[in-house]
Amino acid sequence: MIERGIPIPSVGIKLVTASGVEDTTSRAALGQGKIVLFSVPGAFTPTCHVNHLPGFVANAAKLRAAGIDRIVCAAVNDHHVMKAWAESSGALADIAFLVDGNGDLAREMGLDRDFSGAGMGTRYARAAMIINNGTVEAVFVEDAPGVNASGAPSILMALEAA
């Protein structure tokens, strides 16, 4: 699994922002500035939609005040689903959505998890990280169902402690 001090791998992704959908690389999307990247098992899934994403939307201003330049949500979904989720959640003003359709970045970072038992295939583990100019500063991976270590309040506490 990716750790502190490791650069973000560079793989092809799509990025959904308020400007639209663009083909890019994970290095280009996450390589400049101080970024919070949080990963979810899937767009519109109950915990992701009700608990994880809303916390980052509600705390976006606080995260920026703590020095974060960009907040990015990653999932193994297609760009149509991620765009629909971003729009329906009202999150596009504050959050960019990293589309890792084949799970390449999830695998490269060691954050891929097998959700086949739930009929979802390979997805991201629920996690978050602080990235500074393309290098991981901190990683927070949930070890049980729910949003605790990878939620916005935990990230804010980590930023304040640093």
Active site residue 73: no
Sign of the C-alpha dihedral computed for residues 2, 141, 90 and 94 taken in this order: negative
Residue 36 has what pLDDT? 98
Residue 126 has what pLDDT? 96
In tens, the pLDDT along 1-29 reads: 999 999 999 999 999 999 999 999 999 99
Q: Is the pLDDT of residue 78 over 80?
A: yes
Residue 114 has what pLDDT? 87
pLDDT above 90 as % of the chain: 84
In tens, the pLDDT along 133-162 reads: 999 999 999 999 889 999 999 999 999 998
Residue 100 has what pLDDT? 97
Report all structural domains of the chain as residue ranges with CATH numbers, in order of start: 12-145 (3.40.30.10)
Residue 12 has what pLDDT? 98
**Token pair recorded at residue 137:** 């500063």
Q: Is this structure's pTM higher than 0.85?
A: yes
pLDDT band at residue 99, thresholds of 50, 70 and 90?
Answer: very high
Q: Say if residues 155 and 142 touch (Cβ distance below 8 Å).
A: no
Q: Which among 48, 111, 128, 129 is annotated as catalytic? A: 48
In tens, the pLDDT along 100-121 reads: 999 999 999 999 988 888 877 7
In tens, the pLDDT along 35-71 reads: 999 999 989 887 787 789 999 999 999 999 999 999 9
